[in-house]
Amino acid sequence: MNSGQLKTTTKISYGFGAISDVIMANIIFQLSGPIYVQGLHVSPVLIGLAVSIPRLWDAFTDPIMGNISDNSRFKWGRRKPFMFWGSLAAGILCALMWMPPTGLSQYGLFAYFLLISILFFTAYTVFSVPFNALGYEMTGDYDQRTSVMSYKTLMMNIGSVLLLPWAFKLCTLDIFGGDEIVGARYVGTLFGIMIFAAAVLTVLFSKENVEYAAQPKIKLLDAFKYTLSNKPFLSINVIILVTLTGVFLAFPLLFYINMAYICPGDKALTATWTGWYGTVYGTAGIILVPVINYFGQKLGKRKTLLAGLFIIIMGFISSWWLFNPDAPYLQLVFAFLVSPGLSCVFILTSSMMADVCDLDELKTGLRREGMFGAVFGFLIKLGLSLTLGLSGFILEWTGYNTEINVQSDTVSKNLRIMFALLPIALLVISFIVVWNYSLTKERMLEVRKLLDDKKADHII
């Protein structure tokens, strides 16, 4: 494992895969509401289930994929072959997802969307688990890990700025006759091509660590047991699971808040502001990634992460005043507040995960980045699948009616309350867990030295 400085080109090459990752993880959430709920009039409860069930399936396949990747011995590596084929399959399925046969009933549309979504997220697992493992094992340096994850998050935010926020707006272009259902067929194909193209750049130009290719194979249940016995690892999972659950309970409601309250009944204006919101969100993330990287190395991962969570909490508190029909642009201030906070979460928890892999190697003598990344993904996706399942019920509880364009004042108020209160409650829990996190820089330098001494003794 490289223990020194990595070339900038190496980190950028790895980061390209994050563009594929962010599209695969979010394209469904960008378009399922506008296309299937608003456009095709499928029940939000059914679409909530069609999105959450595949994520639940996806969660359970992650540990299996992690163990397969850790135990693979291909001459091309134990990560890259899976990344190539997973991204190819996901790209094809991304196109098919928005091409339901005409004439299907509401339940027929639900069944079609559910089936394609299950296949899509299976392909996503095949790509994402080895991709994340590749990042964890790129360097053994404590601060360089934060730098690697900063580049990953930077590229992820570039994908968020240039691509995802405008997905629905692209579907409504005049070239498609103003019919978002027709537009989604072409836009889905475009995003599928982007998924594969960005992933191929990582496969071709990033470097895979082959140092541990000859280590003993590990049985799935044993690998799972060893992983869950690591207390710092469990703390990281609680941090990101609780944080993302809070945020993802709220984010799908933003489209409906615009439709019901900020831009009442105006789909075109809603699409425009949704696009600008995503652009500002991603731009803020791009601009502030170097700042997060600096403070992560200067102040430490724990203190910087606490600051990030505090900023997110302040953002959700302020949403009550920033979501204003007389000043729709104020929602962009909310995006600018929340984006750097979430970038802190993504960068620093990923960097912490790489530290956990060192601690595990000290205890077991094995490098198991694939399994750690997989269980990490399993617990997150398990929570998110439940969250997404709830999101449809939450929308229905607010009284939102997809059959009409203009909603009542009560519906608007309910949407805004749910958007603010649920995330704040969960983010406070995450803040407390970070406050008590135990793996400091000093402890990790000690672990790294012990590992290096062991290897030196083995060579002698």
Separation between Cα atoms, residue 269 and residue 289, nearest integer Å: 30
CATH of the domain at 419: 1.20.1250.20
User: Does 375 have pLDDT greater than 80?
Assistant: no
The reported pTM is: 0.72
Residue 1: inside a domain: no
Residue 181: inside a domain: yes
Number of domains in the chain: 1
Maximum average pLDDT range among 308-312, 415-419, 455-459? 308-312
The pLDDT value recorded for residue 407 is 79
Separation between Cα atoms, residue 343 and residue 149, nearest integer Å: 10
Number of C-beta neighbours around residue 410 at 10 A: 10
Residue 7: inside a domain: no
pLDDT tier, 27 (very low <50, low <70, confident <90, very high otherwise): very high
Residue 202: inside a domain: yes
Asked if 65 contacts 112 with a C-beta cutoff of 8 angstroms, the reply is: no
Number of C-beta neighbours around residue 25 at 10 A: 18
Residue 366: inside a domain: yes
Residue 3: inside a domain: no
pLDDT tier, 423 (very low <50, low <70, confident <90, very high otherwise): very high
229-264 pLDDT tens trace: 778 888 998 998 899 888 888 888 888 888 888 888
Number of C-beta neighbours around residue 425 at 10 A: 12
Residue 184, classed as helix, strand or coil, is: helix
136-186 pLDDT tens trace: 888 878 788 888 888 998 888 788 777 787 888 899 888 998 789 999 999
Residue 238: inside a domain: yes
Residue 8: inside a domain: no
The pLDDT value recorded for residue 88 is 98
Residues whose CB falls within 8 Å of the CB of residue 109, separated by 6 or more in sequence, listed in order? 36, 40, 42, 100
Q: The domain containing residue 117 runs over which residues?
A: 14-207+216-459
Asked if 278 contacts 160 with a C-beta cutoff of 8 angstroms, the reply is: yes
pLDDT tier, 408 (very low <50, low <70, confident <90, very high otherwise): confident
The pLDDT value recorded for residue 212 is 53
